[in-house]
Each structure stands twice: as structure tokens, then as C-alpha cells.
Amino acid sequence: MNIPRLSSVAAVVLLTSLAISAAAQEKNPEIPSMTAVEKETAKKIYFERCAGCHGVLRKGATGKNLEPHWSKTDKDGKKTEGGMLQLGQSRLEKIIGYGTDGGMVNFDDILTKEELSLMAKYIQNTPDVPPEYSFKDTMDSWKVIVAVKDRPTKQMNKFNLKNFFSVTLRDTGEVALIDGDTKEIRSIVKTGYAVHISRMSKSGRYVYVIGRDGRLSLIDLWMEKPGVVAELKIGFDARSVDTSKFKGYEDKYAIAGSYWPPQYVIMDGDTLKPLKVVSTRGMTVDGEYHPEPRVASIVSSEIKPEWVVNIKETGQILLVDYSDIKNLKTTTIESAKFLHDGGWDASKRYFLVAANASNKVAAVDTKLGKLAALIDTAKLPHPGRGANFVHPQFGPVWATGHLGADVVTLISTPSEEKKYAKYKGYNWKVVQEMKHMPGNLFVKTHPKSRHFWADASQNPDKDLAESVVVWDLADLSKPKKVLNVAKDSGMPETKAVRRAVHPEYNADGTEVWISLWGGKTDQSAIVVYDDKTLTVKKVITDPKMITPTGKFNVYNE
């Protein structure tokens, strides 16, 4: 991993923050002391396991604020004392170990007792401010492994690339490229740590994968053995990437968003050469300045030369016009704070994104360039991409699950097709809440399927976390079946939880692939179900396939 040397300014910021932390500890002896080695170990664990929900500065978003001295509001709206020190070491260890009903998983089968204790100490100490990451730092990290002129001019393998899966191997910093027809692993590619998403180029040739460590990798599927042809480090923590997809700009540019520093990078689509770095620091929709407004998700419009860039902490949705990179034009749309993931409606005109800690879903009309609706939902919506289908009573709907509520929410979406005109009165309303269970991360269906799938991988109950729920789209009043994926895999039972996560369809909608996400030393697997019979067709295992999580089918992407 190419980590640049700290600039003098960044070094001063880092040393100052350490000095402040030390001074705070001396002033308040209740703060648990930590050695430099303990602090570095805890910082690494926090980055890998906690920062995504709670933030690098621990100010909270999907997860709660974890600053040592946060205050809370009582029922009368008055500020009261609170914080990590008031909870205490023992209580914090239990919270981290056992998880919460709000969607935080139990870490007692992921971290050792010593690590649980260490993390409880760490969050009682003042967080350090990480260094910045400049355009020069970004440029210095850029690496072209295979020049464009040296790449194949045609597909050099015989794989059916329309049914390929890019599978995140979370803890090894790799993706496995799996043939959806044969279920064989065709290549395991070294990438960034815990790849959050795999995005396809408009051409279908390249896969862009972004790790949570900010490492962006460009994979060429035309090579005899698909591999990385370019790399770039866009920051220290990241989640999102896409290319330009409007006609005439297909894959000309790529964009990647960073959690830290809060900014996004625009680059050449085929080489990843950095062209522009844009900060996202600024004011929230409430009119307050925020120092860490992270880029949560990015999608590319196909009706305008624009990217939809969602800024988590500020609640601002940016429509970035890439038709003139030098004179960048951005439309800023106010929605609600703590924007996260989202997906297109069936028409691909509207983008729906969860403002999860605000318990809302924002819908953006990318044709008109403005907010179409802000819909109240149950607690902590977490849609992933969401799922579109035609409801037997309410017409076209988009679905999201929830981390903190026991329902799947269905929202009516507009359609310009005449046959759906009668459903217009339902548009942008919650038309149904299907009974599910808290801890859902992903929901999924397919245009050729009559089933709807949802996981519960963040649920604190072991059996529920290892299961998925399936509904018949003709009758959404109750689930059709609950499938215990861990038991169906035929693998030996373990005390540790193997989380059933991220249902993903194959290209033609006949199969659903589900990851069994175990620990680093546990045997993990991908369990493939027949979508019609809901029976197991194949269990994909391999010693090299460690902690599989997200699976992205090339065709469906």
C-alpha cells in the first residue's frame, strides 16, 4: 500500500491532536491510559470495524456519536451530562461485545476479550485528527500497471462476462472473480482492504473496485486472466466509485468518493489519472459547519452528463456536471442528514437514497435536477441499491430494509407508462411495511423473478443473522419461507456467527447467491439457491475465499 509521507502541516495537526489528547488525559484521570502500541492497535481495529458507521472523528452517522464527552438530551429538550466515561469500562465492553438492537453487531466472536477491553479504553480517549490528503498525494499514488496501448483489443478469454461475479473478500483485501455459469473462481485479484463496491464500466469491460482504505483498482476482464491494470489511492478511507455513462462520455471519466479526507476525485476512466480533487466540507442542511462530511455514495446518470454525489453528514446531494471538468458546475440539493446508500427507480430517472439516522428516504429527480420527495420511514433505512418491482395493489414500488426496524418499507414510484397512471396518487408514499426483522442490510429481486429476498445479517440473534427471508411477490402479506443459509450450506456448525449477507441474482434471474460471512479463521462460503424452488444448487468454497461479503453480478450492475 502506497502511503505518502506526511506534509509538514499534516504532521503539526497530528502532533497537536496527540498533545491535546495527552493533556486531556492528564486533566481528567478518569480517562484510561493507553500505551502508544495499544493506541495504534486500537486505531487499526477502529478503522476496520467501526469508522464506517461512527466516523473517523467519531461524530456519528449511521452509528452513534462516540466522542468521549458527548452530551445527550432529556425528554424536556435540556442537555444533560453523558459520555463514555459515564458509561464506564465494563458497560462499554458489554455493548461492544454483545451489540445492540439498533443494528450494531456483536463483536465477541470477532474480537478477543483483550481487544474488547482495548476498544472500550480507546473510545474513552479523544480521537486523533488524521492528516489531509492532497492532489499531489493522490498523483504520487497513481500507478498504471498495463498501459492502454498494451491492453487486449478483444476479449482474450472464453468466459461469459455477462454472468461474472466480482466478490469482495473482506479481510484479505481481494476480490474473487467467479464464473456465474460454472461457479469456478477464475481469478483472485489483490485490491484495497474490504472492498465496498464493484462498479462496471459502461462498456462492460472494466470493473472498478474501491477498498475502505481508499485504494481504487481498475480490473480488465478482457485479459486472459483478468487482473488490475491501474491503481490510485484517493484517501485514507473510502466507499464509492462510478464512471461517466451519458452518451458521448461513456467511461471517459471516473469519480471516487472519500470518507477521509471528505472529498471526491475525478480521473481519467481508462488510466485513473487524477484530474481534480474537490472538498465536500461545508454546512449541513441545519446550517451548521461539519468538518467530516463524507462522500457516501455516487451513481452516474444516463439522461444527463452528471454524477449524483451524496454527502453523508451534511445531507446535501450534489449533481456534478462533468461536461466541463475545468469549469465544474454543481447543483446542491438539500435533503436530510446522514445520507448513505441508495438506488435508481425502475425508470432510472429518480435516485432514492437513505438518510438513515434521520429515518428518511430522499428521492432526487435527475431530469429536473431537484428534490422530488423526502419520505419518512421506519428506523435506520439501509437499502443497499434497494429493489424495484410492480406491486399487485400499488403498482411500481422501490423497497428498502432497515437496520433498526422489523419491516421492509415499500415506496410508490412514478412511471410515465400509461398502464401505471392509475397508481399516481400513491407516488412517494409508503404504501406497505412488510414484516421482517431488524438488522437487514440488503434486499433484492429481479425483473424475471417472482420472489423478493432480504437478509438480516446485522441481527444480534445467531439463527436470524444466518438466515434470509423470501416473499412471493404475488402475496406480500407474510414471508413465503425463511432459509437458514448456514445450515443449508452443510458446513459444520460453529459458535461464531456466519452471517448470511447480500443476496445477489445471476444474470438471467434464475439463481440467488448469498455470502456466508464467517471470521478470518472460519470456513466461509457462497450458497447458490435456485430462485424457483428455493433449494440449494451449489455451495462454493475454497481455502482462498476468506470472508466473502458483497457480490456484484456484471450484468445486473
So which residues are the catalytic ones?
A: 50, 53-54, 104, 340, 382
Please give the sequence-ordered ranges of beta strands (E in DSSP) within 191-328, or none if there are none.
Answer: 197-200, 206-210, 215-220, 227-233, 237-243, 253-260, 263-268, 274-279, 282-283, 289-290, 295-300, 306-311, 316-321
DSSP three-state, residue 505: strand
Rounded CA gap, 93 and 118, in Å?
9
Contact 231, 138 (CB under 8 A): no
Contact 409, 381 (CB under 8 A): yes
- Mention every residue, 6+ apart, whose C-beta is less than 8 A from residue 287: none
Could you give the angle at which helices 36-49 and 113-122 cross, rounded to 10 degrees? 90
- Mention every residue, 6+ apart, whose C-beta is less than 8 A from residue 84: 66, 68, 69, 70, 92, 123, 124
Which three cell numbers, joined as nine digits, stand for 67? 466522542
Bridge partner list, 169: 174, 548
DSSP three-state, residue 54: helix
Of 508, 432, 440, 430, the C-alpha closest to 468 is 440
Q: Find the angle CA(112)-CA(114)-CA(117) to the nearest 5 degrees.
A: 110
- Mention every residue, 6+ apart, whose C-beta is less than 8 A from residue 497: 105, 106, 109, 462, 465, 466, 518
Rounded CA gap, 338 and 174, in Å?
29
φ and ψ at residue 536, rounded to 5 degrees: -75, 130
Contact 25, 125 (CB under 8 A): yes
Rounded CA gap, 436 and 434, in Å?
6
